[in-house]
């Protein structure tokens, strides 16, 4: 644990959590750790966590991959925006979004206006390693994952950089990344 992590007590976290008046929405590329860090962040803040992709699959009664295959990305992004809007309206504490959600103009505007957007950034080597663990990423199926992730990072960086907060996630424990997010939110508030 870093010195900063050790200095963030449960009482201080609780004080910061009380000041957060809207959902915290995690954005970034697939494999950056939005879901795993999001769960840890929600636990520390003593609030709920939801993965937008899980909510989309539940609403559609279909997997993200199946939606992409059957209807295409534009259709998926429209449904994704509507589900994220509902999750924000329902005041879920921490919401992890899919990698492309924040690149959509309407979804990005919604998140920036109604939530605290946290960009979890990550280097390409780490993203390649993390995304290789399972074959559920529709955008990585038709080509070299390193090449695709490098291209997506370059294309989406201008969008991700609009988030109110940016945190880098590498090989640190999830708790450290979650604590870094809490500290950044504290400074931003």
* pLDDT at 6 (0 to 100): 53
- Amino acid 176: pLDDT: 93
Q: What is the DSSP letter of 98?
A: -
Q: What's the pLDDT score for residue 64?
A: 87
Q: How far apart are CA 101 and CA 107, in angstroms?
A: 6
Alpha carbons within 13 angstroms on the beta-carbon side of residue 82 total: 9
Residue among 61, 180, 43 at smallest CA distance from 122? 180
pLDDT at 1: 42
Q: What is the CATH number of the domain that holds 105?
A: 3.40.50.300
Number of domains in the chain: 1
The verdict on residue 8 lying in a domain is: no
Q: What is the pLDDT of residue 2?
A: 47
Classify residue 10: in a domain, yes or no: no
- pLDDT of 4: 47
Domain residue limits at 76: 15-188
Write out residues in the chain with pLDDT < 70, as ranges.
1-7, 134-141
């Amino acid at each position: 644990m870093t010195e900063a992590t050790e200095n963030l007590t449960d009482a201080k976290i609780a004080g910061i959590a009380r000041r957060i008046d809207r959902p915290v929405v995690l954005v970034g590329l697939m494999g950056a750790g939005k879901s795993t860090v999001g769960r840890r962040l929600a636990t520390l803040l003593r609030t709920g966590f939801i993965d937008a992709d899980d909510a989309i699959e539940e609403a559609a009664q279909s997997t993200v991959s199946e939606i992409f295959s059957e209807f295409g990305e534009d259709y998926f992004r429209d449904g994704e925006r509507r589900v994220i809007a509902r999750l924000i309206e329902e005041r879920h504490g921490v919401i992890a979004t899919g990698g492309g959600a924040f690149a959509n103009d309407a979804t990005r505007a919604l998140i920036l206006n109604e939530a605290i957007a946290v960009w979890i950034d990550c280097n390409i080597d780490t993203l390649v390693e993390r995304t290789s663990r399972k074959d559920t990423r529709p955008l990585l199926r038709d080509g070299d994952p390193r090449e695709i992730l490098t291209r997506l990072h370059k294309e989406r960086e201008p969008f991700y950089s609009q988030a109110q907060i940016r945190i880098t996630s590498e090989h640190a424990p999830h708790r450290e990344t979650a604590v870094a997010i809490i500290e950044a939110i504290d400074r931003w508030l």
